[in-house]
Structure 1
């Protein structure tokens, strides 16, 4: 295929020009080039079938642009798939997602929010109403009597890092360039939305060849400003009990080796967030486990005593800070290394705005000859040994009535998986158990979305991870609640011949919210999947006769049912060896003991109540809230 000349023009529709533009974009970091757009996920309907649909068909038929089309089954799910892919590719490659006018496009709002909150690039191309307003109002149009230019796609504005509506073909030129700029900026990336009115998609324009040429977006590694680096080193050298928190930025910047080198040179213990797990292998002498509300007792004990906290590539969510109750030393200081100043400035920190790898390397040089006291290293090691004993015990937990405990499912799966295999999860009680129990030695082996904690992410994202890393086995760990919300992408996995193993934990309800409800005095109300009891009027009857394994089989998956917890290992090994999409169905006891908690999470409890369970929870809430503090 011969690309367009840099001089002259090419007459194309807006959609055809956009497809050519997307196919010609590349990223480059450290001398390695990547396709910015691996393809387009879409569901066609009125609004995009005659525009982008025709353009993608033409590109595939004529070879004028290499931009493969992938058919999804749900618009929210296809954004999740794109996010899973981009995260697994360290944000250097992404997907575009197109949907039809109206409900198809608004279905992408949840996925857009997840992408933006997680700082993951995805390009959304929602179809819009007629820019010319000839047949106004059209099917599925929002008629707002206050504003003539508002459509349902305006709902994507607050969850997009860049948003634009293309009402004339030539507007695509600056908008497409702005979109690519944001998508390739580690500090600004997230969901980018270009709304495409259906008439404009099909309009022709004479496009300058320069717009359609191959274009490389260089993803740099910003260096730390020398004075900021000196201030950071001074704060660390003055500490007796420093703790480093490794976040997702360590993984995305491929800084695992730099992190290891700094930890080994200084003896600083390293805790991790969900996004940073595996940046330092779990059994490394400096690794102390996950941090925060669902973290390890070892890491949280060190955090409470820390007089300096070095956050690298973390956004300090409330789970990481245990709702601002974790860091209790009166004089604690924070040093934040982040490519985004917005995150570097949190907790009144010494700010080092830089790429994680360059900053960690520079800090190691700046701290040359300095090391924590051996007694502190000894204390950290002792806490980790004690915690690992607790984890070993939790992995052997049993449920009731012959059912498996979720912790045993996780522990057995972890033991079966190889070092480079990937576990994918997002919501419910599993992320908490995973952060405590999962032992990862590879930065890409733990893929848990916990910034948005979005039910339904798991299966769709598992497909994206598999497409991004076809040389790795991918295991999706999902509860029945999330499965029921978004299981249809199993059919997409089958169509794409993307082998993924889905481990479905069936506990007949919302295990996480059930436990949370109980802790705030609400007695697990409304958290079980049960018949409505005619005597009580509540949903507290017998469990519903739902067969999710049969559902998965109907979508094309091979199914393995585990009736005896003793057969878990055999089932996981069989599924790993399979050559097709496989679902392992396991009944679990939602009340089985899980790994112990060692930090708090702020969920307000009713201040007044007629229920003693709620009043007791409120007393406990007020006691725990006393530990909250602002770091000013």
Structure 2
């Protein structure tokens, strides 16, 4: 990643106007930063989210209002309602923009700043850029302590913003005006770097924000941060080609790096030429269209039967832009072939050396193009029997999906998978479907038929409840012509519905689908499997014995969404649901579709069971039968775990 000044006079302050506060200088600097890849230029920091308090209102707040308001402002501003939600919106924006453009988030010192921590962790885990600009305690210490200052008896320079250090890829505290110059440059470097990117924090003491300084004009010059496509090293590429040519049952695992690199066409070309099947992680789903003959669906614990069967028999696993999380590897139990090898094509050296694999460090698109070219020249392709086997597996899983999506009756209350089937029938290739937590990620990974690279938007690196609604806003800002759907259960909705108000205020036509199942469905099922007997996972009144097994709570989430300004459509049957989804898709205002799902034990069809294990430790000793039986099952699976070296 490199940068250059493209116009020494660009952004030059007028005579006498270059004496600016730190906040004013930072806003002007951010407005002049760009990325460029493949000749396409983007604003690096497109806009700024903010909630103001005493720690930033007279600094960043004053600078933003002075720089202009509305879409033509130097740094357009978005008003948020919750600091964590603002980060989620910014992260979703960056993901939709393939990490080439990001947003900033500013907060006051104190609770506003610490509310950033969850969002920052999500950004860094998923390697998505966001710039955090929290206010901080006074650098000059005019009084100790000031309002909201954390006093640490053993360290006078600690503030609550230090909680952001472990979840940020880059952190700096700007104690003096002149320190902004190197700090801001390093912040841009990390945000634009495809290997290093994540949350970047510049903590800004509130007195320093308002302090004036004579800034060098070059600080405000337009800068372009060029995002490279590094090619694989020739020796490593040759070794990779030998590994593929020696394989009889290779399997590609496409991760999020395929999307970030816009490598879908190169992946399809390689698959077409070689016949190697392609499975996808949660972040990689949609790398190939669902109907591509080599696409075998999700991999791992939430994967399809065909993909997981291929993984168990694979003699070479080709990971492209993947981190090999425990869901992908089924906690180290999935890749069972005794001599299995791994080839890791990724821009990150850290990931390239995982699983004891052959590292092929390169941009995903550049690496796939180089690998495909050499394999085509060598005439490599998998044999016909292998193609036929996974083609039959694809057909079997398609029937499973059809059964899960199909309603038993148009007049009946739909199950969760039937809600997905109804949505599948309504959306187009351009729609974006967003989810992050609960039981929906498993159902979506197994069953959703992704039709375009960005249709499937699952945040499963951090799996953060409350992500979906603000993420829908971020995606809509990044892609205003795309219909956007936030799928949430009642548990997730109650975590963070606040940004509905933002969508209404800004006239952003997002669609929120609320599935009411009266509790934490995913953790309820996991609790039952691990011997915890669904303890504390239902939204119900207490029964006489003190357990939460009474009647469901009389909570009306549809009324809540309406009170926040959304148009609300209630669906009590599958037929009503289909109609409501179609109406929502055509709406020009924020719209909520509310459906109470049939979660009864006899409801059918439901999602297929997990096709691979996931390690959630079970109590080693217990007085209850449920836990003892769960422990027996746990030990059976744990015994198959491997560490690949």
- Given the two structures, how large is their TM-score scaled by the length of structure 2? 0.96
Indicate if the aligned counterparts of 1:6 and 1:213 stay in contact, CA closer than 8 A: no
Quote the Cα distance in structure 2 between the aligned partners of 1:17 and 1:609.
62
The answer to whether 1:596 aligns with 2:604 is no
1:435-465 deviation line (CA, Å, top 9, x unaligned): 0110012000000100000000000101000
Judge which range, 388-397 or 542-551, deviates more. Answer: 388-397
Indicate if the aligned counterparts of 1:310 and 1:336 stay in contact, CA closer than 8 A: yes
Indicate if the aligned counterparts of 1:515 and 1:524 stay in contact, CA closer than 8 A: yes
Find the partner of 1:377 among 379, 387, 398.
387
Q: Please show how residues 2-401 of structure 1 align to structure 2 within 5 Å.
A: 3-4=11-12, 10-60=18-68, 66-368=74-376, 369-396=379-406
The answer to whether 1:423 aligns with 2:433 is yes
Indicate if the aligned counterparts of 1:324 and 1:629 stay in contact, CA closer than 8 A: yes
Q: Could you say what secondary structure the match of 1:189 adopts?
A: coil
* Structure 1 residues 200 and 392: CA distance shift in structure 2, 3 A: same
Equivalent residue for 2:6? none
Quote the Cα distance in structure 1 between the aligned partners of 2:478 and 2:293.
31
Quote the Cα distance in structure 2 between the aligned partners of 1:63 and 1:384.
47
Deviation at 1:590, TM superposition (A): 3.2
Equivalent residue for 1:519? 529
Judge which range, 561-570 or 445-454, deviates more. Answer: 561-570
Quote the Cα distance in structure 2 between the aligned partners of 1:563 and 1:140.
48
1:70-97 deviation line (CA, Å, top 9, x unaligned): 1000000000000010000000000000
Deviation at 1:627, TM superposition (A): 1.3
Equivalent residue for 2:580? 571
Q: Could you say what secondary structure the match of 2:640 adopts?
A: coil
Q: Please show how residues 434-473 of structure 1 align to structure 2 within 5 Å.
A: 434-473=444-483
Quote the Cα distance in structure 1 between the aligned partners of 2:463 and 2:268.
29
Q: Could you say what secondary structure the match of 2:58 adopts?
A: coil
* Structure 1 residues 490 and 170: CA distance shift in structure 2, 3 A: same
Quote the Cα distance in structure 1 between the aligned partners of 2:203 and 2:73.
22
Quote the Cα distance in structure 1 between the aligned partners of 2:70 and 2:128.
32
Equivalent residue for 1:587? 596
Deviation at 1:397, TM superposition (A): 5.8
Equivalent residue for 2:558? 549
Q: Could you say what secondary structure the match of 1:532 adopts?
A: coil
The answer to whether 1:505 aligns with 2:515 is yes
Quote the Cα distance in structure 1 between the aligned partners of 2:485 and 2:69.
35
Quote the Cα distance in structure 1 between the aligned partners of 2:16 and 2:303.
59
Equivalent residue for 1:624? 637
Q: Could you say what secondary structure the match of 1:127 adopts?
A: strand
Indicate if the aligned counterparts of 1:273 and 1:290 stay in contact, CA closer than 8 A: yes
Quote the Cα distance in structure 2 between the aligned partners of 1:141 and 1:94.
30
Deviation at 1:597, TM superposition (A): 1.8
The answer to whether 1:406 aligns with 2:416 is yes
Indicate if the aligned counterparts of 1:298 and 1:383 stay in contact, CA closer than 8 A: yes
Find the partner of 1:488 among 498, 509, 521.
498
Deviation at 1:565, TM superposition (A): 2.3
Deviation at 1:216, TM superposition (A): 0.4
Indicate if the aligned counterparts of 2:18 and 2:217 stay in contact, CA closer than 8 A: yes
Query: How many pairs does the alignment contain?
Result: 631
Equivalent residue for 1:606? 619
Q: Which runs of 5+ in 2 are unaligned?
A: 1-8
Q: Could you say what secondary structure the match of 2:554 adopts?
A: coil
Q: Which runs of 5+ in 1 are unaligned?
A: none
Judge which range, 198-207 or 6-15, deviates more. Answer: 6-15
The answer to whether 1:538 aligns with 2:547 is yes
- Given the two structures, how large is their TM-score scaled by the length of structure 1? 0.98
Indicate if the aligned counterparts of 2:69 and 2:76 stay in contact, CA closer than 8 A: no
Judge which range, 111-120 or 521-530, deviates more. Answer: 521-530
Indicate if the aligned counterparts of 1:497 and 1:580 stay in contact, CA closer than 8 A: yes
Q: Could you say what secondary structure the match of 1:12 adopts?
A: strand
Q: Could you say what secondary structure the match of 2:476 adopts?
A: helix
Quote the Cα distance in structure 1 between the aligned partners of 2:412 and 2:623.
37
Two-structure CA RMSD over aligned residues (Å): 1.8
Quote the Cα distance in structure 1 between the aligned partners of 2:587 and 2:388.
45
Indicate if the aligned counterparts of 1:161 and 1:192 stay in contact, CA closer than 8 A: yes
Judge which range, 537-546 or 87-96, deviates more. Answer: 537-546
Quote the Cα distance in structure 1 between the aligned partners of 2:196 and 2:14.
29
